A and B are shown apart, each in its own frame.
Chain A
Amino acid sequence: MKKLSEILEKKLLPMANKFSKQRHLKAISNSFLSIVPFLTIGSLALVLISPPVDYTTLEPGFMYSFFQAWTIFAEQIATPIGSIYTICMEFMSIFVAAAIGYFLAQEYKMKGFLPPVLSTVAFLILAGLGADGSKTFDYFGGTGLFTAIIGSIIAIEILHFLFKRKVGYISLEGQGVPEALTQAFALLIPTAITLIGIGLLHWGIVSLTGDTLPALMTVLLSPVLSATDSLPGVFLLAFLVMTFWWFGIHDSCITGPMTAFWTIALTANIAAFNNGAATTAVPYIVTDPYWFMFLMIGGSGATFGLCIVLLTCKSKQLKTVGKLGIVPAFFNINEPVIFGVPLMLNPMMYIPFVGAVLVNCVISYSAMYFGLVGRTIAQPGWNMFCPIGALLSTLDIKAMLLIVGLIVLDALIYFPFIKVYDKQKYEEEMASVK
């Protein structure tokens, strides 16, 4: 055990450090994190104006009146609230492009407003024009996300390359010129070169393939998306994330960059839902809310069920962790539990820690695959209490019941392991008192 943790400290942690500090991945993670409020508001706006049940099919009663009222309300507010959905979701790639420009420029210590504007312009050149040169909005939503990522990274890389070598740098310093003007001039030529580069890229792709970058990306990414949306794909991912967590490496290292794929899947679901598809009939299962609401109930390791078990422990330490952990568990924060039990690097806890998540993964996936519960069409944010989050993101009451069932199941999975561990801890505590 000691040897294992030594290997970990020396080899695995520096690797995790490097990975989590990788500039582009970090910029992507931070960008998606910063736009979550807009995805949440945008997708919930759609939910608000889309009553999930046609009230005319219901028997008269409370539910009939409830959905009738909702339908009338939805018709009234459809225009103002619908516009929030349309812009937040269907123009999302524009602000992702700006965010990546901002965060990547920060990594390079390039200050000012220019980099995020430049990255947005780069994205618009690549995605806002069709192959025939006409303007298009088709790729401003989820389908343009990878173009936003790639275009922004290329633009900022070129700008940084030129900036670092002072190529085309016009210096007006010390000539009584205001600083803002100095900066604008300093980056004028690098900005022009960057945009020419992006323009040439756009032209090159169109001449070679006959279509634009986002159209090309859609074709290239479709096998990747099928893989991430498959049961083996998400099972393997969950296994890796949980095993890494067991080694003490935070899940965001992996899930941060994965958010790009999950967001594409989620926006495709939302678009299908907006076109009238039922939540059971939207294309993708594996999305951001699927991962955080259905797999990681109470936090990575599905520790909500564990917290309940901990409260019944005899050992003072475990009971304390249960008490400390239960409130944050409602918001899916579980570091106290991971470090307090501990689950991390605890050989007795590896099986339930990873196993509970994998069981949740297979059961929820199957339930969605066979249409027993709705798939996710809204982003409630990962801090939402899971049963409520599941309801909001699927508009299916059965999803909420599924989560409650999974919490009980997770508790049962943890139970035998915790009982043995509790006995051991309790005896240790008794022995140290004597």
Chain B
Amino acid sequence: MKILLMCYGGLSTGLMKVRLEEEAKKYGVEDIEVVATALAEAENDFGDYDVYLLGPQVRYAYDDIKAKLADRLVLTISASDFGLMRADNVWQEIVKGLDRT
């Protein structure tokens, strides 16, 4: 599974990236790739990812991105999950989201 994590500078999401990869492996998903990047960078080329995650600091961009990536799963990480680095909650959101689609 390929996940693109976006925040303002691509730095603070770097912290989430590592935790999210660990979380996925806990559930036996070995084939996981999480890329943390800056929103401005991503907007030039959204690439080909299964899931697009927005940090709470760039949640304003959700509508724009959802419009461009209508057939993909786009999620915003809640402020509390992001602040407490609750990769487990974020992973559950991803699983739920993928089930729906």
Interface residues of A (CB under 8 A from B): 13-14, 16-17, 26, 30, 106, 248, 250, 252, 317, 320-321, 324, 328, 333, 335-342, 344
Main secondary structure of the interface of A (DSSP, over half): helix
Residues of B with C-beta under 8 A to A321? 83-84
Query: B61 contacts A339, CB within 8 Å?
Result: no
Q: What would be 12 A-B contacts, judged by CB atoms less than 8 Å apart?
A: A17-B60, A250-B58, A328-B12, A328-B15, A333-B11, A333-B15, A335-B57, A336-B83, A339-B80, A339-B82, A340-B82, A341-B83
Answer yes or no: B40 CB below 8 A from chain A CBs: yes
Q: Residue-by-residue, is B62-73 near A (CB-CB < 8 Å gives 1, otherwise 0)?
A: 001000000000
Residues of B with C-beta under 8 A to A328? 12, 15
Interface residues of B (CB under 8 A from A): 7-9, 11-12, 15, 40, 44, 55-61, 64, 79-80, 82-85
Residues of B with C-beta under 8 A to A340? 80, 82-85
Residues of A with C-beta under 8 A to B8? 250, 252
Bound complex: CA A328 to CA B9 (Å): 14
A-B contact count (CB 8 A): 62
Bound complex: CA A248 to CA B79 (Å): 10
Residues of A with C-beta under 8 A to B40? 26, 30
Task: Please give me the residue from chain B that is nearest to A383 by CB atom.
Answer: B11
Given contacts A248-B59, A344-B56, 17 further A-B contacts (CB under 8 A): A13-B59, A106-B44, A252-B8, A320-B84, A321-B84, A324-B85, A328-B12, A335-B7, A335-B55, A335-B57, A336-B82, A336-B83, A337-B83, A339-B56, A339-B79, A339-B83, A342-B80
Bound complex: CA A338 to CA B56 (Å): 10
Query: B84 contacts A317, CB within 8 Å?
Result: yes
Query: B12 contacts A336, CB within 8 Å?
Result: yes
Residues of A with C-beta under 8 A to B59? 13, 248
Bound complex: CA A268 to CA B88 (Å): 50
Query: A17 contacts B61, CB within 8 Å?
Result: yes
Known: A250-B8, A324-B84. A342 touches B57 (CB 8 A): no
Bound complex: CA A207 to CA B47 (Å): 50
